[in-house]
Amino acid sequence: MRLGAVSTVTVTGPDMLLTRAEAAEVARVSVERIRTWERRGHLSRAGLNDDGQPVYTAVEVAKAQHKLRPFTRVAA
């Protein structure tokens, strides 16, 4: 994602489930950063989607982003 790019994901509510890629897009970080947040305990999975991919609630992504944003580089 380019800096300043418009997100194509529309979050419809705090309980909306996001894949890693969608979470990364919304938080404007890389998918690897989402994995790092999860591994370090800053972001918890809400479960798995039908394809077996981890999903996260929009509110949990926002909390992690708010907490960690000063330490995170924006994805290019």
Q: Could you tell me if residue 29 is inside a domain? A: yes
Q: Could you tell me if residue 4 is inside a domain? A: no
> Which CATH number fits the domain that encloses residue 41?
1.10.1660.10
Q: How many domains does the chain have?
A: 1
Q: Could you tell me if residue 22 is inside a domain? A: yes
pLDDT in tens, 8-46: 778 887 789 999 999 999 998 999 999 999 999 999 999
Q: Is the pTM of this model over 0.85?
A: no
Give the mean pLDDT of the chain: 85
Q: Could you tell me if residue 48 is inside a domain? A: yes
Q: Domain span at residue 66? A: 17-71
Q: Could you tell me if residue 33 is inside a domain? A: yes
> What pLDDT score does 71 carry?
60
Q: From CA 69, how far away is CA 62, in angstroms rounded?
A: 10
Q: From CA 27, how far away is CA 56, in angstroms rounded?
A: 12
> What pLDDT score does 76 carry?
52
pLDDT in tens, 43-73: 999 999 999 999 999 999 999 998 887 665 5
Q: Could you tell me if residue 2 is inside a domain? A: no
